[in-house]
A and B are shown apart, each in its own frame.
Chain A
Amino acid sequence: MSRKFQVLLLALTLTFVGLFIVWYKVSVLGIPFLPHEKSSVYKVGAEISFEGKNKAVLVSMAMPQAQDGIQILSEDVASSGFGYAKAQMEDGKRAEWSKRTVTGPQIIYYSLEVMIEPGEYNPKPPIESSEQKSESLSDLPSTLSNTAKILLDDVRSRSADTHSFAAQLIQEFSDKSPSQAAKILIAQGGETKIDILYRLLRYRHISVRKIHGLYLESARRNIALTPMLDVYDGEKWQLYDLNKGKVTRDKNFFIWKQGGGSLLDVTGAKKSNIRFSINERQVPVQYLLDKKELLDKAAILDFSLFTLPVSEQNAYQHILLVPFGALVVVLLRVLIGLRTSGTFMPILIALAFMETTLFAGLIMFIVIVGIGLVIRSYLSSLNLLLVARISAVMIVVIMIMSFMSILSFKLGIKEVMTITFFPMIILAWTIERMSILWEEEGPKEVFIQGGGSLIVAVFAYFVMSDPFVSHTAFNFPELLLVVLAVIILLGRYSGYRLSELIRFKSMVD
């Protein structure tokens, strides 16, 4: 079998298998091929980590309740070796995991699929609970309780009603400019900010609830719950963010925990921690309705990326785009004949552009490489060894990046803060290569290769940031087989490059 035939056969097989799975998923399972005609589903994941001490471990986590406007579609638990049960306690439902002996680091995943219900958002007013415990400040040392009382009186004199009182009090405790009294209470009271505020408000007999929740946004990793206070003045409830102050009740605010109970209790282990991640996915309404049934009947989805924990799914949304970037690089190099500095450097730059936005990214890239080249030309006169020189350039790159971040923050240009997404080692190597190119072949070659790299990066950016491409790449990862087939075929393309049609033009005339 000739090599050419093998390549053709391999490419055809890969394409066929890839397209067949896509066809099956679209026409039999009803997953939409196009990114429209569907609604958002958010996968909210909690990742509980702790370290066992060779003892029995009991983990208890507050579970979210059903709430207005947001529907919980399904829940999923991944905790190998742990017994799992739900418990109804007086302050809400709790999920409980247990195991006789636990050693070493452990991770428990708990995730929910939720959907924001379509239509107008009209939250029903929460039922007022009249039997809230009154708080006294007597357990505080007298100096502290005096400080608290003076603060409360001071705030009261500056407010008109219950809501303005609450707003003023929360303002005193804000992160940016806490008042002197608030600082003392936080530092010496031994309680979290939300607990202190709750006690102070209750001391004034104001109806208030503690709320912890998450804003449903796409692709958030490793975040904590946002604490809020819900204050009732006898007529209406108002939500307060501890840092932003008064906020409106948002449709996409998902309440994880209400009331005083703790979010996470771990007994028998140390270093316990809980982090959350959110991942948005587009699915058709039909798919939503019978998802459960679908998962049972389609073994193919059992092996899909949807079964991974949410934070890994988010990572794959980026990783799965890289092959499409590689396809652009292969196309532009093999068919067009563009020269780039470093084969896959343009893909990494394009990935950075996706975080920085294209225009800001281009400018930052040119500025960093430009300043880097100037500094590198000085370093070259110092006559350093190669490894030391590249490390020096890398440090300079990091300094330029941090300086640009600080400067832009002062000037109020937020876009530049995303500069951290540029891979600095790649930047350092790019500067090194360009600078050698400049010394040996002159500035012209630097502009050809640097420009070539940027053109490829911009093309890769447009392909990778296309909503259709990112939708299909994540929902139909089997398309990678087709990309693979195309790249293998291009790898055997022995025809002329577009640049050669220009280069050899004089031979035809």
Chain B
Amino acid sequence: MRIFTLSLSALLMAFATTSVMAQQGHPLAGIWIGDWGPATDTRNFVVVEMNWHDTTLSGNINPGFPDAATITGSELNSSNWTVHLEAQGNDESGNSVSTMIDGRLENLGSPNRVLSGTWQKGAVKGDFTLTRE
């Protein structure tokens, strides 16, 4: 419990710093916060960190948490601002699991733009909404 509290505190501090430094640049780069889940009453808090370097996107889902996943593949279709992300990580039990995310960017001109769509983690399918901090 203490480790979880410390991790959460560190994560929140990182978010606070990032919010001050909120940047634009590449449309996907930044810290995104939101939730995903198979139903409106079954939601999972999620943080996605994405970085853009030259022509490559890298990033992590829920960095620092037991269910963290590394983004292993990405595609941004800038003709309609749709996004495909693939990630590999663990579930809460530590078992390897793949995540597939398909979404669309909205409010593109805002630093606090929104990415929403479908989220599949293992066999569980749902929807998601992320807002860039």
Is chain B a partner of chain A in the same complex? no
